[in-house]
Structure 1
Amino acid sequence: MELRTLALVCCLVLAGCSAPTPAYDDTPVEPTETDVGTSDPGSVSAPADPEEDQLGWENGYWYNESIAINQSDGLNESELEAFIARTMARVEWIRGAEFESTVPVEVISREEFRSGPGRDTTVDSSRERAREQLWEGMLLIGEDRTVGAAYEELYGGTVLGYYSPREDQIVIVSQNETPVVDRVTLAHELVHALQDQRFTFLRGDTHDSGIAGTSVTEGDASYVEQRYEERCGANWSCVDRPEQSSGADIADRNLGVYVTIYAPYSDGPAFIHDIYQRGGWNAVNQLYSQPPETTEQLIDPERYPDDGPETVQVPDRSGENWQRYGGAERVGESSTYAMLWFQRGLNRSTFSEESDPYSRYNYTAEATDGWAGDTFVTYRNGDAGGYVWKLRWESRDDAVEFASAYRTVLVDRLNASAVEPNVYRVPDSSPFGDAFRVTRDGRTVTIVNAPQVRALENVHASEE
């Protein structure tokens, strides 16, 4: 899915699952193309159509063929067909993988998109409750709204397009009254369709591994998209991009969610570039059967594939009225960074452009770059909820750095009072109004949360 916000374009995919090893063999493709035309609109003679489908040719159009497109009055059916076919040819030429079938593309208005089915904002199941508790524990979505509502606010009027695996279709959301298509959005979503045809989407079993898996699919699509754009003008004639609005304003309380879900679209392309440099598209293809385990590997590709997360155990030491529910989660380095960034527990200037052309932002900070592993578990007592989040760090100093930053967030940003040694109380007026116990043992930091200070021991008894 393509979403525009904060004057940036980021692409969000809502589905994904593990993929088998590709059945085909591709060598790295680095084409040296010479365009047969010089500008769009306009057409010139093109090479003859091949007798059989081949890489770089789709539905009558070569990847370097000029096409007559004029979006000033919207796209008619023949223009859209030509635009899609040539973009498919270009995507497969860059990616070194052939489409198996033509991808349907529907262009709808912003009004049509907004009138479609909204996101479910209810919380009914134990799984949904555990998800709410996780995002609250990351200090990103408080008790004043649900995760579904936060996502609904974030997407709002900003989505530019998406690929639906269920419908096997791309939907482009036109910003204009007449149907227009942005070449970047189209190319990006076509890569997702190609992934669906040749591999499948990736889904992790924890919050952290889910973001890491998404980094493969989104990083792959963004990497191809960027290499497509690099060729426009210099090697290829390209359809002019229509003007786009900056999208709906993102309220400050949504910025933490945005920074969390943006990690695959920021560092994903750089990760894919690193893997491509190691072994071309064959190496990238293998990621669909062996994706990165953690966002730590996404942030630091040198850690892939051998440096996995440390196992962190959280023994159940809750009282008889508090019960653990949901599965154990792993938050990961990128979301821990997003938490501190959002709550100003670190200098926000660290979230800035890097020199790497394939990495838009920097998800590293002194308070989080020593992450080695973590486990997050949820507890409930009737309608009351609590959690335990245990984090392992590479060194004692790393643990001290994080614990200090986290305590700063509680006291300076959430107005918590220190009521006992290592125990803090955030006022009920805050969306994160709860009691917190923050302890460190060597290179391990343990955070316990409960509605009231007296309930902390019942959620997770202190280690003597």
Structure 2
Amino acid sequence: MRSHLAPILAALLLLVSGCAAPVADPTLSQSADDWSWPDDPPTDRLGWENGYWHNESIDIDQSDGLNASEREAFVARTMARVELVRQLEFEEPVPVEVITREEYRAQSDAPTDPVHADWNDQVWEALLLVGEDRTIEEVFDELYGGVVLGYYDPAEDRIVIVSDSPTPAIERGTLAHELVHALQDQHFGLDASPPTQDEQLADNGLTEGDARYVEYLYGDRCGEEWECVPRPEREASGGSFDFSVFLVIYTPYSEGPTFVSELHERGGWEAVNDAYANPPVSTEQLLYPARYPDERPVAVEIEDRSNENWSRFDHDPAGDTVGEASIYAMLRANRAIDRGKLQRNTGAYSAYNYTSGPSSGWAGDLVVPYRPANETVATENPDQRAYVWRITWDTDADAENFEATYTKVMLQLRMGASRVAPNTYVIDEGPFADAYRVTRDGDTVTVVNAPTVEALDAVHSNGD
């Protein structure tokens, strides 16, 4: 499912719209003996879809929503415009359907694998973003439940608009964005998903970045070149959401458009198309497009040193890679870096700046969650979890910088941890109340977390 976040969230991001060179219009010069523009062409072509040219006027009034004929015209002309900007032909029609927000929430509430849920909670706890007082599923439900406007469903080859009205108004950017996902699916396929969080964010950076970049280029042509359907008025959505978790999942939307624009500058749309066969594999590559495709993450391994009281989850993969963007969100959430830099020095099409001193220099990482080996103990004590997180950096200095920021600023200064032994810290209260052992070996930092100091060695004994 490719989701498009609501404008109320985008409004918080101060999105930067860039300028682009005009796209050549291939439709106006094409002719044949039996037709002439602006009649319908004898065969499908860029800039024409389902009876509508990209620059054709349509009569639409969104004040009372879109009826069936208005929606058909709006979708067809938007498809013609999207394929002209993106220089890819739609191979088949794209259905646009409407479901209520209640139906969307019901889909989101589908049962999840409890083992994966526990495992994933530990990954987000390792980032010091979601503590033991809540679950990441609860945070996602709060974040997505009220703000998703629509999505493209590759399993059913359709766009779904989320609205409580059977004749909803549709924001042209949302429609164009989701149509790009349909175009991507028809040409490249969107079903596969990488195994780790960082690689998923990076992969989404290509697909979401492509869609957002086209959305920007589309918007640039509204006004002087294209007559565009006015944006419908939308009431601000209520409620709150976890901004730090949002920062993580928004990485593809923020950094993807600049990444794709740089590919486009390197080699046009062909370079973007080629990237689908070799997508970015880390958020580092999204943040620094010059490092794509050559600079790949280091493969980090963690040997299992737990005793008979602790075991890894029965989960494939055993560990997760969170990556540089997630580490940045962790540092910002815990006030370990200057929060004001988030909206300074952003990329050409980026909403945010995800770079900082303590997170730059990331080379690779792995988080391996642990649980009590006894199933009864694990079930009766849901807070009895642990993890080992190992991060490799480009240089020893990068590793030392992160270690000092993590221990002195985050654990001790911000979270009130006490240093109870060399490299060992204890947080007594709050959702992250646990024992932490933080060690550095050259360019690698290892964090071991357990409920108590005594359990640290049980989870991951010192190799020394």
TM-score (norm 2): 0.88
CA separation in 2, counterparts of 1:356 and 1:207?
A: 23
- Determine the structure 2 residue equivalent to 1:51: 42
1: distance between equivalents of 2:111 and 2:439? 34
Equivalent in the alignment of 2:413: 412
- The whole-number CA distance in structure 2 between the counterparts of 1:173 and 1:185 is 11
Alignment of 1:35-74 (within 5 A): 47-74=38-65
Give 1:31's aligned residue. 23
Task: Classify 1:292/1:397 alpha carbon distance in 2 versus 1 (closer, same or farther; 3 Å).
Answer: same
Q: Find the counterpart in structure 1 of residue 371 from structure 2.
A: 380
Shift of 1:249: 3.2
The answer for the alignment partner of 1:231 in structure 2 is 221
Q: Cα–Cα, structure 1 residues 9 and 223, in superposed 2: closer, same or farther, change >3 Å?
A: farther
* TM-aligned CA deviation for residue 84 of structure 1: 0.3
Deviation of 1:177 after TM superposition, in Å, equals 8.2
Question: Please, which runs of 5 or more residues in structure 1 have no aligned partner?
Answer: 12-28, 37-44
1:233 Cα deviation after fit: 0.6
For the residue of structure 1 that corresponds to 2:234, the secondary structure is: coil
Paired with 1:73 and 1:322, the residues of 2 have a C-alpha distance of 60
- Tell me the alpha carbon deviations over residues 71-92 of structure 1, each in whole angstroms, 9 at most, x when there is no partner: 1122121111100000000111
Which of 238, 258, 272 matches 1:270? 258
**Shift in CA distance, 385/349, structure 1 to aligned 2, threshold 3 Å:** same
CA contact (8 A) 2:52 2:76 kept: yes
Decide whether the 8 Å contact of 1:34 with 1:235 is kept in 2.
no
Distance 2:441 2:299 in 1: 16
> Matched residues in 2 for 1:175 and 1:357: separation?
36
Aligned to 1:217: 207
Alignment check: 8 A CA contact 2:27 2:45 kept: no
Partner amino acid for 2:422? P
Aligned 8 A contact 1:5 1:249 in 2: no
Paired residue secondary structure (2:343): coil
| SS of match in other structure, 1:200 | coil
Q: How many Å apart are 1:288 and its aligned residue?
A: 1.3
Alpha-carbon distance between aligned partners in 1 of 2:394 and 2:413, rounded to the nearest angstrom: 26
Contact 1:331-1:374 at 8 Å conserved across structures: yes
1:163 equivalenced with 2:163 (yes/no): no
Give the distance between the partners of 1:424 and 1:246, measured in 2 at CA: 43
TM-score (norm 1): 0.88
Q: CA deviation at 1:166?
A: 2.1
Give the root-mean-square deviation of aligned CA atoms.
2.5
8 Å CA contact 2:117–2:137 kept in 1: the answer is no
Q: CA separation in 1, counterparts of 2:67 and 2:371?
A: 57
CA distance 1:440–1:198, shift in 2 (3 Å): same
> Is the counterpart of residue 8 in structure 1 residue 16 in structure 2?
no
C-alpha distance in 2, partners of 1:68/1:312? Answer: 58
Tell me how far apart the structure 1 counterparts of residues 404 and 130 of structure 2 sit (CA, whole Å).
22
Give the corresponding residue for 1:423: 424
> Once the 2 structures are TM-superposed, how far is the Cα of residue 410 of structure 1 from its aligned partner?
1.4
Deviation at 1:424?
1.1
1:306 and 1:193 mapped to 2: Cα distance? 29
Contact residue 416 and residue 426 of structure 1 kept, 8 A: yes
- 2:144 aligned partner, one-letter code: Y
Q: Identify the match of residue 78 of structure 1 among 59, 63, 69.
A: 69
Question: Amino acid of the residue matched to residue 358 of structure 1?
Answer: Y
Structure 1 CA distance, aligned partners of 2:252 and 2:456?
35
Question: Which amino acid is 1:291 matched to?
Answer: P
Distance 2:108 2:283 in 1: 29
Matches for 1:161-310 after TM superposition, within 5 Å: 161-174=150-163, 179-201=168-190, 202-251=192-241, 254-310=242-298
Q: Please give the alpha-carbon distance, in whole angstroms, between the structure 2 residues aligned to 1:416 and 1:122.
A: 34
Query: Are the equivalent residues in 1 in contact too, given 2:25–2:84 (CA < 8 A)?
Result: no
**Alpha-carbon distance, 1:393 to partner:** 1.0
Pair 1:249–1:352, CA change in 2 (3 A): farther
**Contact 1:119 / 1:149 at 8 angstroms: preserved in 2?**
no
1:96 and 2:87 matched = yes
Structure 2 counterpart SS, 1:154:
helix
Q: Confirm whether residue 319 of structure 1 aligns to residue 320 of structure 2.
A: no
Aligned partner of residue 163 in structure 1, secondary structure: strand
Cα distance in 2 for residues equivalent to 1:318 and 1:100: 54
Q: 367, 372, 391: which one pairs with 2:358?
A: 367
Deviation of 1:117 after TM superposition, in Å, equals: 3.1
Is the 8 Å Cα contact of residues 94 and 228 (structure 1) preserved in structure 2?
A: yes
Cα distance in 2, alignment partners of residues 353 and 59 from structure 1? 43
Distance 2:154 2:76 in 1: 19
How far has the Cα of 1:149 moved from its partner? 1.2
Q: Is the 8 A contact 1:31 1:94 kept in 2?
A: yes
State how far apart, in whole Å, the 2-side matches of 1:142 and 1:120 are: 23
User: What CA distance in whole angstroms lies between the structure 2 residues aligned with 1:100 and 1:65?
Assistant: 21
Partner AA of 2:261 in structure 1: H
Find the residue that maps to 1:316 and give its secondary structure: coil
Residues 419-464 of structure 1, C-alpha deviation per residue, up to 9 Å, x if partnerless?
A: 112111112x411121111111222111000111100011111232
- Post-superposition Cα deviations, 1:278-330, rounded to whole Å, max 9, x if no partner, equal 11111111111111111111100111111111222212222222222332321
* Structure 2: distance between partners of 1:250 and 1:35: 47
Query: Per the alignment, do residues 211 and 356 of structure 1 end up closer, same or farther by CA in structure 2, a change over 3 Å counting?
Result: closer
Note if contact 1:414-1:426 (Cα within 8 Å) is conserved in structure 2: yes
Q: Contact between 2:322 and 2:365, CA under 8 Å: does it hold in 1?
A: yes
User: How do residues 144-159 of structure 1 correspond to structure 2 at under 5 angstroms?
Assistant: 144-159=133-148
The corresponding residue for 2:17 is none
Moved more, 237-246 or 100-109: 100-109
**1:250 deviation in Å?**
2.5
Q: Which residue identity lines up with residue 348 of structure 2 in the other structure?
A: P
Contact 1:331 1:376 in 2 (8 A): yes
Structure 2 CA distance for aligned equivalents of residues 378 and 300 of structure 1: 29
- Count of matched residue pairs: 435
Residue 124 of structure 1: aligned partner: 114
In terms of fraction of residues, the more helix-rich structure is: 2
> Partner letter of residue 146 of structure 2?
G
CA distance in 2, matches of 1:460, 1:453: 12
Cα distance in 2 for partners of 1:312, 1:86 equals 49
Distance 1:62 1:354 in 2: 39
Task: Say if 1:248 and 1:167 are closer, same or farther in 2 by CA, change over 3 A.
Answer: farther
CA distance in 1, matches of 2:293, 2:26: 38
Q: 1:176 to 1:155 in 2, by over 3 A?
A: same
CA spacing shift, 1:57–1:250, aligned 2, 3 Å: same
Give the corresponding residue for 1:346: 337
Q: 2:328 corresponds to which letter in structure 1?
A: Y
